[in-house]
Amino acid sequence: MSVTAAQGFTAAGIAAGIKQNGNPDLALVVNTGPRHAAAGVFTSNRVKAAPVLWSEQVLKGGAVTAVVLNSGGANACTGPQGFQDTHATAEKAAELLGHSAGEIAVASTGLIGTLLPMDKLLPGLDTAAAQLDTDGGEKAAIAIKTTDTVHKTAVHRGDGWTVGGMAKGAGMLAPGLATMLVVLTTDADLDSATLDRALRDATRTTFDRVDSDGCMSTNDTVLLLASGSSGTTPGYEDFAAGVRTVCDDLARMLIGDAEGASKDIRIEVIGAATEADAVEVGRSIARNNLLKCAIHGEDPNWGRVLSAIGTTGAAFDPDRLNVAINGVWVCKNGSFGEDRDLVDMRYREVGITADLSAGSESAVIWTNDLTADYVHENSAYSS
Amino acid sequence: MSVTAAQGFTAAGIAAGIKQNGNPDLALVVNTGPRHAAAGVFTSNRVKAAPVLWSEQVLKGGAVTAVVLNSGGANACTGPQGFQDTHATAEKAAELLGHSAGEIAVASTGLIGTLLPMDKLLPGLDTAAAQLDTDGGEKAAIAIKTTDTVHKTAVHRGDGWTVGGMAKGAGMLAPGLATMLVVLTTDADLDSATLDRALRDATRTTFDRVDSDGCMSTNDTVLLLASGSSGTTPGYEDFAAGVRTVCDDLARMLIGDAEGASKDIRIEVIGAATEADAVEVGRSIARNNLLKCAIHGEDPNWGRVLSAIGTTGAAFDPDRLNVAINGVWVCKNGSFGEDRDLVDMRYREVGITADLSAGSESAVIWTNDLTADYVHENSAYSS
């Protein structure tokens, strides 16, 4: 499944020795055509990793024949040498595959601020190229894991066409944009402009609304590659819905595997004057550490939700705010409502509904609780 | 010391039974004159507690004769009944002191969303009024503690005048404004307009730049009361510097006692094009959970600093960013610099310097690390 669920793609995932523990760390995804149309969205962090700077240029051409992805190092904040290393990676893949380096995207993930061991990575590419297979998607998905406990893949079957995808990401999940590495593939026969539109439509309401810990990565990359090998050109709405389904599935998996999390929190803001207001309020709630701790403690502390709403510029009257936690309206008209003891918080998924009573727009943001395990995992990340 | 260090003030702190554990929970601070000039700054959270709504109105008159402060309940998000309770508190204090309720400020702190036990609070005011004393400042400071492990007081002696103060706050420390309760007193002979100017000048660079956990309270209140009883009218700059010193001391104590913290982190942003840029970048660094976890683990993970800077709109070139941790320039020109193993992080205070290389403005923001103790303390806060 994964990126090889669609026809016209091969993939491989191997252990090149970039990670010191010997786990798989290098993935290669190749579009065997006949088309090589592609679209991409990247982090909006102004500090961008070398592979992001490279791949952004590649995507301007609208064609990608292969993607090289490595875990075990982000190649971010590595200066001119870091960029040269990304370039050398693309050149090596181009040579192995007989394509131009200008159509090879590169993505990296791992620790910021250290150079990649190119003496491991480049020979690893030989191995990966030799193992390319139409069944290799699963191995590729495994090779891009960092602190992920599971690899993440999704597939959507359309009428004569398929979208498949893989993702990695378990921390540093925040908006604008993806905060993860994602490769989506399709055998639909579409041009890069259509792919770009469908990808942006999908990420705007999926990856862009996942906000696990408010931190934005330097390496976020989401690519959509189309081989055209099904010979089918789906209608735009059908195709966009398929891409959105795959993105939604992968985004949900990212939240479900976020570092140290014990709760997945679905924040739905309703009654907003505008969608932008709903998103702003949802993000503010999602980033409130005190609320995230309270949810971890299974404490329906709705006062934290109101405090978070109050820091936004959204249209609302404090005396008309309503908040439900797992369906119990614990806050009505800005004050206490139904009995908070009625709220059952035993399960992993927690639903918070914030009603601004200011209009009819809405948005959903996903986040996680804040736990001692998150602290432990990120206290010792680089050591 | 505390609020009774200046002449013309009495105070008391008692256990009224608002807190179920029997700890002190009610403070009264009285300005015995001859002047009753006052200024105040309040939370910029749009969800404001009843006592904030009340006291904002009181301060518009520029005169405060007494402040009633309670811990054990925030009286926030409590609807019309909550506001009536604040009003009744001011009326009761006015009756006891023979003043108008329109000159009685009220401040509350504790859990959001529950009504105060007025059957305990109002009789408590009788007790507090009977115990008012020119030495009562210490007891008042103790009575406003919530999760504070120590009470917080500070004093500055000018030439013939004094500024004293007390503060409570150990969590929910974030900008815009104070996220705490603070009462400052002075025997200087000044009008409310001068007090207001000095207070805003002081809070802008002290309480406003403390950002322990990025969460903004519904109850933040900082009051400055002047009795004029010294008969001295200091020059503005002298007086403003004195107020700033007391605010700075109290702000530093808040950071030093933040919930669960094991590190106090001083973030200095230099080389900024504007002070606003420096503050924006400082706050972004201060709110990065991944960095805060890394500092807890004594890990000089400067990549987290660059990631945080990259999310701001400040003027900078990613290739000209420099970062020092405890004096070691671990990041130079946006890439790795001096050996990170040289960074000694054993002590409680950690200094991060971020040089944007874009100008000559600077700002200092204080924050704390993120710890498992913070999570534990806030997982069980309301239960």
Residue range B107-126, pLDDT digits in tens: 999 888 899 999 999 999 99
- CB within 8 Å of chain B, chain A residues 103-162: 111-114
**CATH number, span B2-256:** 3.60.70.12
Does position B178 have pLDDT exceeding 80, yes or no? no
Mean of pLDDT values over B146-172: 88
How far A29 CA sits from the closest chain B CA (Å)? 28
pLDDT band at A19 (very low <50, low <70, confident <90, very high): very high
Task: Phi first, then psi: give them for residue B25, nearest 5 degrees.
Answer: -150, 5
B193 or B214, which is more confident? B193
Mean of pLDDT values over A92-96: 98
Does position B203 have pLDDT exceeding 80, yes or no? yes
Asked if B332 contacts B321 with a C-beta cutoff of 8 angstroms, the reply is no
Does position A381 have pLDDT exceeding 70, yes or no? no
If one counts every other C-beta atom within 10 angstroms of the C-beta of residue B298, the result is 18
The chain-wide mean pLDDT, for chain A, equals: 92
Phi-psi region of A99 (alpha: psi -120 to 50; beta: other; left: phi over 0): beta
Token pair of B347 as six digits: 């002590």
Does position A212 have pLDDT exceeding 90, yes or no? no
Question: Nearest-CA neighbor of B179 among B210, B225, B141?
Answer: B210
Residue of A4, A109, A179, A206 marked active site: A179
Res B294: pLDDT: 92
| Residue limits of CATH 3.10.20.340 in chain A | 264-379
Token pair of B207 as six digits: 């309480």
pLDDT band at A178 (very low <50, low <70, confident <90, very high): very low
Res A194: pLDDT: 97
The interface predicted TM-score of the complex, written ipTM, equals: 0.85
Token pair of B292 as six digits: 């805060």
The chain-wide mean pLDDT, for chain B, equals: 92
Mean of pLDDT values over A243-269: 92
For the stretch B241-263, pLDDT in tens is: 999 999 999 988 988 888 888 99
B322 touching A (Cβ < 8 Å) = no
Task: Phi first, then psi: give them for residue B125, nearest 5 degrees.
Answer: -65, -35
| A13-27, A122-136, A267-281, B142-156, range with the lowest pLDDT | B142-156
A381 touching B (Cβ < 8 Å) = yes
The partner residue sitting opposite B218, judged by closest CB among A307, A319, A380, is: A307
A90 touching B (Cβ < 8 Å) = no
Token pair of B272 as six digits: 């900024």
Strand-pair partners of A221: A42, A181
A371 known ligand binder = no
Which residue has 């010193």 as its token pair?
A: B245
Q: Considering only CB atoms, which chain A residues are within 8 Å of B111?
A: 303
Mean of pLDDT values over B317-331: 96
If one counts every other C-beta atom within 10 angstroms of the C-beta of residue B346, the result is 7
Mean of pLDDT values over B129-155: 94
Half-sphere exposure in the Cβ direction for B227 (13 Å, CA) = 24
If one counts every other C-beta atom within 10 angstroms of the C-beta of residue A53, the result is 16
Res A148: pLDDT: 86
CA distance A374 to A377: 5
Does position B11 have pLDDT exceeding 90, yes or no? yes
The partner residue sitting opposite B310, judged by closest CB among A45, A78, A316, is: A45
- CB within 8 Å of chain B, chain A residues 259-288: 287-288
How far B151 CA sits from the closest chain A CA (Å)? 22
Give the β-pairing of A361-368 and B9-14: unpaired
Percent of chain B with pLDDT over 70: 97
Q: Please report which helix (H) or strand (E) contains residue A269, including its range.
A: strand A264-272
B168 known ligand binder = yes
CA distance A25 to A143: 5
3-state DSSP call for residue A382?
coil
C-alpha dist (Å) from residue B137 to B140, B178, B179: 5, 21, 21
CA distance B282 to B356: 11
C-alpha dist (Å) from residue A23 to A18, A108, A148, A289, B354: 9, 15, 12, 33, 35
- HEC string of chain B? CHHHCCCCEEEEEECCCCCCCCCCCEEEEEECCCCCEEEEEECCCCCCCHHHHHHHHHHHCCECCEEEEECCECCCCCHHHHHHHHHHHHHHHHHHHCCCHHHEEEEEECCCCCCCCHHHHHHHHHHHHHCCECCCHHHHHHHCCCCCCCCEEEEEECCCCEEEEEEECCCCCCCCCCCCEEEEEECCCCCHHHHHHHHHHHHHCCHHHECCCCCCCCCCEEEEEECCCCCCCCCHHHHHHHHHHHHHHHHHHHHHCCCCCCCEEEEEEEEECCHHHHHHHHHHHHCCHHHHHHHHCCCCCHHHHHHHHHCCCCCCCHHHCEEEECCEEEEECCEECCCHHHCCCCCCEEEEEEECCCCCEEEEEEEECCCHHHHHHHHCCCC
CA distance B179 to B221: 7
Q: Which amino acid is at A259?
A: E
| Residue limits of CATH 3.60.70.12 in chain B | 2-256
**CATH number, span A264-379:** 3.10.20.340
Res A175: pLDDT: 43
Cβ-Cβ pairs closer than 8 A, A with B, add up to 217
Token pair of A358 as six digits: 């200011």
CA distance B182 to B167: 4
Mean of pLDDT values over B161-185: 74
3-state DSSP call for residue A260?
coil
Task: Phi first, then psi: give them for residue B22, nearest 5 degrees.
Answer: 80, 5
pLDDT band at A177 (very low <50, low <70, confident <90, very high): very low
Q: Considering only CB atoms, which chain B residues are within 8 Å of A335?
A: 77-79, 82, 113
Mean of pLDDT values over A96-125: 95
pLDDT band at B381 (very low <50, low <70, confident <90, very high): low
Which residue has 């590729």 as its token pair?
A: A140
CA distance B278 to B138: 37
3-state DSSP call for residue A331?
strand
Res B179: pLDDT: 53
CA distance B330 to B351: 13
Does position B177 have pLDDT exceeding 60, yes or no? no
CA distance A257 to A349: 13
Mean of pLDDT values over A227-244: 96
Question: Nearest-CA neighbor of A127 among A92, A169, A81, A162?
Answer: A92
How far A377 CA sits from the closest chain B CA (Å)? 8
Does the annotation mark A86 as catalytic? no
